[in-house]
Chains A and B, each alone.
Chain A
């Protein structure tokens, strides 16, 4: 018996000693290069699924995908850029390009773009967005979403309202949809899901700047502080101050505004394709989507494009660019748009019935060329992350008026 145990032990030990030899050979067979990619998820797991054919096309290059939570993404990225620890490829918004350039963190991509044979599968508007007003191109188109207006179908039918096409109709709808349904004297349904917390500047811009106002004039001077803007902003603040938005609106962020719409607390919501899947799961057919209402100067569609950037310090720039080409390929692009709820822009994915037949996606694609990109200036990060939410919350609370709010926003945008 003892002999048997000894034998078994010796075999086990020998096997343990031999195993590393095999594992060494496995390591040797692994790809020689690795490219690290940072991104934030649009829907959990969507990137890993979309890019799972990478290893078939590029067996020699290992792809390391690392999702970073959106709330801390910008901070993490800038800190990594300042310390020279960026991944080879990372997802960005175009407004971050000046910051990243000042940190020498982004590689120029013009040469690679010009020599790419499939360049024309991506529309010129997306390349322009990736250029972000710079002389050279530092980004590669990744995704785009277009803001639109979700409307609760049954609420509009009950109120005998048409979906709003103009700002006047929008404010009328906000008022008409606000109701005390059980007659207890307190409001049960509000017209609009207003967002006063971080990120609310998208819907604010879409519903105020359509009066012919822009952040900067052609000479690059801040042009926000005009009587027209003060008036348009007051109308926007009225949504809360007249009780057409939930009382929680000053601190409502993405989760709250979507929940308010889904649970029937509100009748309208401004958001984009990302939330369509979740909303239709809850509301089914009781939701429609229309373009943002027009102001005196037409529509203002602030967009949230995202792009890929390549680290200036990457030792695998060629491989990193290959990844960008792969990600812009028909198969990977379609898969990502489908999984993550993004608007396709690569031909021929844009003609795929899977997207054109979907009312939310179709509404987004219809205005793809009309989107407005926020100004690409150094002050934007601070302005959008801190200044805007604090200032509009103070205005909603009545601590400052519309003119003071616009003055603060303009001053902080122009600050050196």
Chain B
């Protein structure tokens, strides 16, 4: 006769503090945001707070002129930034992985954009691309690429791209350091054996280095996807999402609605839509990259 297994409560007790903390600092705000998104909740008019069901969501999708431009900008903002950062960081990490005089100094200097506050980065790039005094206009005019000053961040067709440039510059060090660390953890013996077997440098790179750093790239890209999506400070400081809606992203729009217009219900609904969209992107990304060490099991 089989003995009935006694319920093991000890693991649950040991896990309880961690679960409690997760519920308090992640679970509660998420649930609260979902609940708020179902209300007309303007902080400036608390007497007018009322349950509106899905009306905020319906308004966002059907009436709000800013939502779809913000959605489109978010897709461009996240995809162009992260892909560019990845490619440029791969190049930089390869250079820094080779020995050259002053490599230690260069490795430290490379970190400067990452440790610089975002607001300073925004101001710096805003000055570089200032339409009246910016150094970029001066350089391009000397190179005869433009005839007159261009208002880079005040034109709807260039504003977002300048901010993407600033964001790429800011995020490259993080990617580079992660990839560099992964590259240095690839066993030397593999390269030696490959050399003995007659594999060229390019083959070694694609058959040893890339597979060796794939899992790091997968997780770093995922982190950057989330961080870049959530970034508010660069865009808010440089243009506030303007001119018009031309550089408005979902995160900046959420900030404007909740923090500037004090519309907590509507702002929460925009935030929830953004979070759901990002969760879908991350899920698809992890499904696609599961061969390379993504977090979803085969």
Contact = CB atoms under 8 A, between A and B. Distances in A.
Bind each other: yes
B55 to A, nearest CB: 13
Interface string A326-355: 000000000000000000000000000000
A260 interface: yes
A82 interface: yes
Interface stretch (B126-134, B167-175, B215-223): B126-134
Given A390-B242, A393-B243, A382 B66 contact: no
A151 B193 CA distance: 78
A394 B154 CA distance: 11
A102 B154 contact: no
A390 B239 contact: no
Contacts of A141: none
Interface stretch (A42-50, A152-160, A247-255, A274-282): A247-255
Q: Which of B45, B151, B246, B260 is packed against the most chain A CB atoms within 10 Å?
A: B260
A381 B260 CA distance: 8
A393 B45 CA distance: 28
Contacts of B132: 246, 248, 260, 263, 265
B244 interface: yes
Contact of B261 (A198, A386, A394): A386
Contacts of A396: 243
B245 to A, nearest CB: 7
A78 B44 contact: yes
A248 B130 CA distance: 8
A382 B261 contact: yes
A102 B66 contact: no
A197 B43 contact: no
Given A186-B149, A248-B132, A378 B243 contact: no
Contacts of B47: 102
Interface residues of A, number: 38
A396 B153 CA distance: 14
A283 interface: no
Contacts of B259: 75
Interface string B147-160: 11111011110010
A369 interface: no
Interface string A91-102: 000000011001
B256 interface: yes
A381 B262 CA distance: 9
B224 interface: no
A111 to B, nearest CB: 25
A103 interface: yes
A196 B131 CA distance: 14
B44 A378 contact: yes
Contact of A99 (B44, B151, B241, B257): B44
A103 B130 contact: no
Given A185-B148, A390-B66, A251 B239 contact: yes
A75 B44 CA distance: 10
A260 B154 CA distance: 15
A378 B242 contact: no
Interface string A68-91: 000000010011001000000000
Given A250-B242, A386-B256, A82 B46 contact: yes
B43 A386 contact: no
B240 interface: yes
A82 B154 CA distance: 36
A353 B159 CA distance: 49
A27 to B, nearest CB: 37
A265 B130 CA distance: 13
Contact of A246 (B151, B155, B257, B260): B151
Interface string A261-287: 001010000000000000000000000
A378 B259 CA distance: 16
A78 B260 contact: no
B240 A248 contact: no
A397 B44 contact: no
Nearest to B242: A393
A99 B156 contact: no
Contacts of B130: 248
Contacts of B244: 250, 390, 393-394, 397, 399
B46 A386 contact: no
B220 to A, nearest CB: 33
A385 interface: yes
B193 to A, nearest CB: 58
Interface in B133-153: 133, 147-151, 153
A394 B45 contact: no
Contact of B43 (A79, A389, A397): A79
B228 to A, nearest CB: 22
21 contacts: A75-B262, A102-B44, A102-B46, A185-B148, A186-B149, A187-B148, A246-B151, A247-B151, A248-B131, A249-B154, A250-B243, A251-B239, A260-B132, A385-B260, A386-B260, A389-B240, A390-B241, A394-B243, A394-B245, A397-B243, A416-B48
Interface of A: 75, 78-79, 82, 98-99, 102-103, 184-187, 196-198, 246-252, 260, 263, 265, 378, 381-382, 385-386, 389-390, 393-394, 396-397, 399, 416
